[in-house]
Structure formats: C-alpha cells, structure tokens
Amino acid sequence: MWDYTPIVKDHFLNPRNVGDITDADAVGEVGSLACGDALKLYLKLDENKDKIVDAKFQTFGCASAIASSSALTEMVKGKTLDEALAISNQDIAEFLGGLPEEKMHCSVMGQEALEVAIAKYRGHEVKIHSHDHDHGPEYPDQEGTIVCKCFGITDVFLKKVIETNHLTTAEQVTHFTKAGGGCGGCIPKINELIAEVMGTQTEEPRKRPEKLSNMKKMQLIQEVLEKDIRPLLWADGGDLELIDIDGPKVQVAFRKACAGCASSGNTARMVEIKLRDLVAEDIVVEEVVA
C-alpha cells in the first residue's frame, strides 16, 4: 500500500473544487484514458482578467492524481496568472506534504494542465506533449520529438522536467513523467537527455577549492563522479563505481559497456582530468577490476 500523507488522503477522500465552470475563462486538458490518468482544469478570472477567482477540476486517475488536482485548484485561487504559472510540480507535492516518488507524475500532470489552460487563454501555441500512445492516433503537432512511444512523451517536455526537478536517473524520470515505464525501450535516450541537461547546467565555471580536508575531498570526489562523470558514461551505456580513495589515489572500476572496453584507459584519463580540474591537481585515477 502506498504511504500517502494525511493531506493526500484528505484531498483524495474530500476533494475540493470538483466539477466544471460553464463560463470558464481558461480550460486545460491533459492525459487520456489510455494513459491511466487525465485532468481537466477550469479557471475563472476576475473582471480585470488578471486574478483567478475560481478553479474546478475533473480527474480520472489514482488517489494521488485526484489529490494533486484538488491541491492545485486550492493553490491557484487568488493568484494572478503569472503567479499561478510559477507553481511547479514540486510546489504541488509540497502542498500535499509529499508524494511517493513513483507518484510524482501526478503532480507533473497538475502543473501541465495549469500551463495548458493559461497558454490557451493567452492564445499561445500549446507547448505540451500530447500523451498520445503508439496505439492511438498520429501525434498532432507538438514541440520536440517523441522519446517515449508508449506514453507519447517528447524530448522537450522531458528536458524541462529533468531540469526543474533535478532528476539524475532514468528511474526518477519515469516516476515523474511515466516516460520509460512501458516497454522501456527509450531508457537509453532518457539517459542521454539527463546527461545533456546536466551538461548545460554548469552555468558558472566551477573552481577547484583552495584547501580541502580529507573528508571534504572525498565528498567532492564522489560528487563529481556522480554529477559530472557517471551521466556521461550512462549516455554510452557504460558506468563506473568508486572503489577506494587513498590519499591522491582514486580507484574506480568500470561497469556495463565500459567494462572491458578497449578505450577504458582513455575514459580513466578523462575522469582524472575532470577530478584534477575540480578537486585537487595531484589526483591519480587508477582502474581496478573489482
């Protein structure tokens, strides 16, 4: 059984604002029967067409989908459209006291519906993935190219969710967006997207710290391996594991496609350069078989 917070349970058992608004200013619809969840969100604006005065929803989905929708309608009331647009899926999850990670896609669905509703109201092109399945109709015009065929999810959408939620593994991406949760064929592509997003996140060049305690140094080495190096290897189907740190010596073992790869020596050298760059200049990377 899922470990739902009391707030999730309350919003599931006593959902706020179920229904529709016949003279709604904005309506956003996402999801489908085939996907297993769908949300239709109605927004009513004040006379100045600025503030949201009422919100209603209809949801097909599990308890957390219903609770996320209910929470969303409560959160947007009284907000201006721009304030509402600033609500992230994390905000929805936080409002509910947290969601099981496997259910984060429910909060993403809420955020998406809000975005669609406001974009449509403003007459913008709706830049959202269509949730069409490979067994459904042809994909209508949408931004980006389909990555996950099972759930009809595009690279543009995935990159956005990866970036805003700081996702680092394909499994997390599945929990947040469903992508990769069907046949699993797109998981390598998802790993590439993660690597790509992470690569672009080095906005300001990081500098090697002046002085490091042993403990700090070990932490930093681990951090660099996790954030900078492993995602790059994943993109090629490889991986590495940190075996030991002994003074300047950093021992790593290559895994998956990297294991026994003819160019693993080059990879070890790449790791060394990166660690020298970001941690300490005397680091020596050794490849071990373990």
Binding residues (CB under 8 A) for another protein: these are 2, 12-13, 15, 18, 20, 29, 33-34, 36-40, 58-63, 65-66, 102-103, 135, 150-151, 174, 178, 181-182
Q: Mind telling me the catalytic residues?
A: 35, 106
Q: Say if residues 264 and 287 touch (Cβ distance below 8 Å).
A: yes
- Rank residues 1 and 289 by Cβ distance to another protein and give the closer one: 1
Q: Say if residues 142 and 129 touch (Cβ distance below 8 Å).
A: yes
Burial class (CB in 10 A: 0-12, 13-18, 19+), 247: exposed
State in angstroms the smallest separation of the CB of 18 from another protein: 5
The residue type of 264 is: S
CA distance 105 to 130: 15
CA distance 17 to 23: 15
The residue type of 6 is: P
CA distance 95 to 75: 8
CA distance 187 to 184: 6
Q: What are phi and psi of 41, to 5 degrees?
A: -115, 130
CA distance 22 to 56: 10
State in angstroms the smallest separation of the CB of 83 from another protein: 26
- Rank residues 69 and 267 by Cβ distance to another protein and give the closer one: 69
State in angstroms the smallest separation of the CB of 210 from another protein: 46
State in angstroms the smallest separation of the CB of 41 from another protein: 10
- Rank residues 33 and 215 by Cβ distance to another protein and give the closer one: 33
The residue type of 241 is: E
What is the token pair recorded at 120?
Answer: 């449509």
- Rank residues 179 and 285 by Cβ distance to another protein and give the closer one: 179
State in angstroms the smallest separation of the CB of 269 from another protein: 32
